[in-house]
A and B are shown apart, each in its own frame.
Chain A
Amino acid sequence: MNAPGVGAARYIGQRVPRKEDPRLLTGRGQFVDDIVLPGMLHVAFARSPIARGKILSIDTAAARALPGVHAIYTNADLAKIKVEMLSFFLTPGNVSITPLADGHVAYVGDPVALVIADDRYIAEDAAALVDIQYAEEDPVVTISDAMTGAPVHADTDSNIAAMMGVEEPDEELEARLQAAHCLVTHKVTHQRISQSPMETRGVIATREGAEELTLYITCQSPHMIARYVSLALGLPDTSIRVIAKDVGGSFGLKNTPWLEEMSVIVAALLFGRPLKWIEDRVENLTSANQAREQEMILRTAFDANGRLVASHGDYSVNNGAYPQGADCNIAVHMFMWAAYKLPEYAFLSRGWYSNTVGMAAYRGPWAMESLIRETTLDIAARRLGIDTIELRRRNLVTLADQPTATTFGIPLEDITPAECLDKLLETLDVAAFRVEQAEARKQGRYLGLGVAAYVEPTGSAGSISVMTGELAQLRIEPTGKVTATMSTHSQGHGTQTTMAQIIAEKLGVAYEDVTVFEGDSSRGGFSPGAAGSRQGVIAGGATIKASELLAEKVKILAGHLFNAPVENITIENGMVHIAGAEEMTRSLRAIAEIAYGEPTRLPPGFEAGLEAQYRYTPPPMTFTSAAHACIVEVDTDTGFVKIKRWISCEDCGTIINPAVVEGQIAGGLAQGIGTVLLEEMSFDARGNPTAVTYKDYLLPAISDIPDFEYLHACTPSQSVGGIRGVGEGGAIIGPPTLVNAIADALAPFGEIGCDLPLTPVKILSLIEGRDLAAVVAPPPPPVVVVEAPAPPPPPPVTQAAAVIDGSWKMVLSTPMGPQEMTGNFVTSGGQLSGELLSPEGSMGFAGTVDGNRLLFDLKVEKPMKITLKYDITIEGDKLTGKVKMGFFGNAKLTGQRI
């Protein structure tokens, strides 16, 4: 026998069939709504139809009178049990949050009353009969509303939910930005996204006596739910068991229980019978927390060679009313330039409360960094006349540059985005594409190539209390079969499969003989489950270590039984071999039967049984790298985008199962494609959600998603097993890759920008050079029609015409730095007309003249949608004045005659 110590059969790296599939393919999965408990009743919620207001009265009489209704609870009822709503990090919020509305409502869908009834149909009937009177107030809906509007919460003095970074400009950084050869100011508007797991939220809560509480809940980690509920309810003496065998997707939504789940749990404690609440899709699209609504301006300076000089990011994210943790998303900035050689970066990051449903995580919560950085790089490349790939090559951190550290001090030892890009380009013939693109353009067809690169922190552990290591508990049962009890949790991740592959290989048993149990907080030890692309890295490492401990135990016992040195013993395919003594070969079952049942045959001090456990805590952060490319064709008649090719080259280290890795990448990419082209959770001015079904909230279908090609780089990480996380990457790298391809296709028409989603209307607006959304939009209400100032009394004509008419060179001091422009003014009587020319383009305007004073308004889209109110005074050849820039306040304007 010349095989290694254990595991001659290779399972790691193989596309083995998934352990989860036999039950899921035959309708025998166990999702929360599949559970029925004796005596179980059903819950529905009466919800707020307005975004903001005081609750004047709640009349439940009619609802209570309905046959089949058992109880109706309001906040006054639930308040008998104290609940502290905690963030994902298990910290209390900085505003008061109650499971049911406490005297006021803060978003459309805010739960106000909870109905308990015989079935869901009756519960919904009764919920509709709960008569709630409100005094409606004006809501704060958008980020810009939040900046200027009245505080959403009574206990805060502004709508800033969280803030980091510096508000005042850093003069040295500003000077470097302004002095650089090329300064790109790029704004990304990211729409709100519904995570949209196909299984909505749901919970069954059953109190079992005074000291036990069992929850069936769709979640990302039963252990995390148990820990959260214990802390939120302050129930240290209560044994909380959380079971979630199968979960129909989550993508960040189901990290912790939120208002509805906690309401049901408290109601079950009060009512004393098992209660089930299964969210319907309209509830999910309106009342389940959402993600991503963000605005960011990234200013990035390049030298003449295209090398990065400095950068500044101004980021805002809509937290809604009750976020699952108030947040300004510092990770956006931490990883903004982590993969690039950038000397200096500064930022301002703010989270804003609004009267919308709260913010939760969504796959790659910090993904804005890759989106805005990679689209900035392409804009810069076009402006500098440097190839987009070449620009990245000049700036990416390569293996040769490492070890090094990011501007945030994060150590980089083995990131490979540059190497992934090189590998990608072995498959993608860019030169041939450029020829094809040029030929196509001659025929009026617009092809585009987008490339993007990134790094992603995965498998984080040790720096945040809930982001822990993983425990693997392994047993070789007396039957010789292997069971593992894990705290991994699959919402499609296939951890029962990948962990079994590791165990089979490392222990030396058949994959078919390994069973992994998970999905129950009474098994295994604490872990946050599926969060932050961590399970492969951390549970993988734990499983390897536990397998090694268990194999060692088998060898010690076998060595004792057969009087052979431990180093001569191997385990292969469930058989224990002794080198040079094949006749001594025994099955694991034979060894296990002795280990469990014949204590007198065990070595001195040997713990009976064949069991081992290991809690693995990996390095604080394990980076995954990737470069992606996609080719699109934009139909300039319809504005539709056809994705013709997509190549992924990722480096997730050691691959446990390529089919699982590719499944994660593909799923993330499909979500990224939905983000760029289709999905949009929107609200009207009163805060009413305008996408409440899947007919309005457009998810990508099979016809929207191309075949993906995969390249795997496989640089082992420093964690045990060399694994890197891969759960979120597709959703992070997908959007910039696709936006860059669309922008490349449309470059002949100008810059498409990045106001997501890039709908056909937005694409056609660029192609046709006019705002088609404005063309099709209904006429605005009368109050906003009046935009030009009223004509003033006619001034002395002779004076104005002589001084004002002509061209002026002007500098506007904006919060984003000085902006140069040229103004051409023409006066006629008291009327002013003209245009402003800037690097962004030219805009015409009309206004008034009063002596030497000029007044005019400009509505601009860039860097954001605001009305600029110009107030200029002219004296001789000099010009001074101010520009009121909406919520940014006044900016100074200076200039001189050309």
Chain B
Amino acid sequence: MSKHEIEVTINGRRFAGAVESRVTLSDFLRGEAGYTGVHVGCEHGVCGACTVIVNGKAVRSCLMLAVQVQGAEVTTVEGLAAPDGTLHPAQQALRDEHGLQCGFCTPGVLMTMAAMTAGEQKPDEEALLAALSGHICRCTGYQGIRRAARKLAAGEGA
């Protein structure tokens, strides 16, 4: 196994260390960097639970290798809320709309919502729901997730 030195910014904090070439980004974020909010649901890119934001784009961290984020900015669910604890609009919308039950898929859902609404982006409901169709939730029947998406599309809570 070959190890590679990488340096990456995770949730605004610098992380430097050596990782094996075959380690996935999700395992790296959970195991090496300690961000256990990154949940591994299927490890083949279907369920979406492990979604994180890499350089502004929502990606499935189980389908990337850790060495690929060399020099990148990575945001996990732990980095969504403001430092004072104020929830991100996506977090607040899911909370208000009872959009989670067991909470396992939730971090991935949040990261897709956050990536799509970041900055000046104003996705409509259809675009948000299309993106969210790449997330599997086995608990909620998606009712609260859809209500939260509608709120975000309408610019509420932002």
**Could you list which residues of chain A lie within 8 angstroms of chain B, going by C-beta atoms?**
15, 17-18, 20-29, 31, 33-34, 120-121, 196-200, 246-249, 251, 280-282, 490-494, 659-660, 662-663, 665-671, 693-695, 699, 701-703, 705, 707-708, 730
A248 to B20 alpha-carbon distance, docked (Å): 29
Q: Is B100 an interface residue (CB 8 A)?
A: yes
Q: Mark B119-137, 1 if CB is under 8 A from A, else 0.
A: 0000000000110111111
A705 to B78 alpha-carbon distance, docked (Å): 29
A493 to B140 alpha-carbon distance, docked (Å): 10
How many B residues touch the partner, as a band? 35 or more
Interchain CB contact (< 8 A) of A27 among B76, B102, B136, B140: B76
A545 to B44 alpha-carbon distance, docked (Å): 48
Interchain CB contact (< 8 A) of B104 among A17, A25, A120, A249: A249
Q: Which of B130-156 contact A (CB under 8 A)?
A: 130, 132-146
Q: Which of B98, B106, B130 has the most CB of A within 10 A?
A: B98
Q: Mark B5-48, 1 if CB is under 8 A from A, else 0.
A: 00000000000000010110001001000011111111110110
A493 to B38 alpha-carbon distance, docked (Å): 22
* Beta-carbon contact of A701 and B102 below 8 Å: no
- Extra contacts besides A198-B104, A701-B134, A701-B135 (7): CB < 8 Å: A25-B110, A27-B38, A27-B107, A197-B138, A200-B41, A492-B102, A702-B135
Interchain CB contact (< 8 A) of B42 among A281, A493, A668: A281
Q: Which of A23, A249, A667, A702 has the most CB of B within 10 A?
A: A702
Q: Is B74 an interface residue (CB 8 A)?
A: no
Please give, as numbers and ranges, the residues of chain B lying within 8 Å of A666 by CB-CB distance. Answer: 140-143
Q: Which of B35, B40, B87, B133 has the most CB of A within 10 A?
A: B40
Q: Which of A28, A492, A707 has the most CB of B within 10 A?
A: A492
Interchain CB contact (< 8 A) of B77 among A20, A26, A694: A26
Q: Decide: A663 near B101, CB < 8 A? Known: A26-B80, A248-B39, A708-B141.
A: yes
Interchain CB contact (< 8 A) of A699 among B39, B49, B104, B138: B138
* Beta-carbon contact of A198 and B47 below 8 Å: yes
Q: Is B91 an interface residue (CB 8 A)?
A: yes
* Beta-carbon contact of B101 and A667 below 8 Å: yes
A668 to B44 alpha-carbon distance, docked (Å): 25
B24 to A: closest C-beta gap in Å = 10
Q: Which of B50-68 contact A (CB under 8 A)?
A: none
Please give, as numbers and ranges, the residues of chain B lying within 8 Å of A198 by CB-CB distance. Answer: 39, 41, 47, 49, 102, 104-105, 136-139
10 contacts between A and B (CB under 8 A): A28-B78, A34-B30, A248-B39, A281-B42, A663-B141, A663-B144, A665-B141, A666-B140, A669-B141, A693-B46
A62 to B5 alpha-carbon distance, docked (Å): 30
* Beta-carbon contact of A27 and B35 below 8 Å: yes
Q: Decide: A15 near B98, CB < 8 A? Known: A199-B41, A707-B143.
A: yes
A519 to B136 alpha-carbon distance, docked (Å): 25
B117 to A: closest C-beta gap in Å = 16
* Beta-carbon contact of A249 and B139 below 8 Å: yes
B137 to A: closest C-beta gap in Å = 7
* Beta-carbon contact of B133 and A494 below 8 Å: no
Please give, as numbers and ranges, the residues of chain A lying within 8 Å of B36 by CB-CB distance. Answer: 27, 31, 33-34
Interchain CB contact (< 8 A) of A25 among B87, B135, B138, B142: B87
Please give, as numbers and ranges, the residues of chain B lying within 8 Å of A695 by CB-CB distance. Answer: 44, 46
Q: Is B158 an interface residue (CB 8 A)?
A: no
Interchain CB contact (< 8 A) of A703 among B42, B87, B133: B133
In this complex, what residue of B is CB-closest to A31?
A: B104
Q: Is B157 an interface residue (CB 8 A)?
A: no
Please give, as numbers and ranges, the residues of chain B lying within 8 Å of A15 by CB-CB distance. Answer: 98
A671 to B96 alpha-carbon distance, docked (Å): 24
* Beta-carbon contact of A27 and B146 below 8 Å: no
* Beta-carbon contact of B46 and A702 below 8 Å: no
A276 to B: closest C-beta gap in Å = 11
Please give, as numbers and ranges, the residues of chain A lying within 8 Å of B38 by CB-CB distance. Answer: 27
Interchain CB contact (< 8 A) of A248 among B46, B102, B132, B143: B102
In this complex, what residue of A is CB-closest to B130?
A: A703
* Beta-carbon contact of A694 and B141 below 8 Å: no
* Beta-carbon contact of B100 and A21 below 8 Å: yes
Q: Which of A249, A493, A665, A730 has the most CB of B within 10 A?
A: A249
Q: Is B103 an interface residue (CB 8 A)?
A: yes
* Beta-carbon contact of B39 and A199 below 8 Å: yes
Please give, as numbers and ranges, the residues of chain A lying within 8 Å of B27 by CB-CB distance. Answer: 120
Interchain CB contact (< 8 A) of B78 among A27, A248, A668, A701: A27
* Beta-carbon contact of B103 and A20 below 8 Å: yes
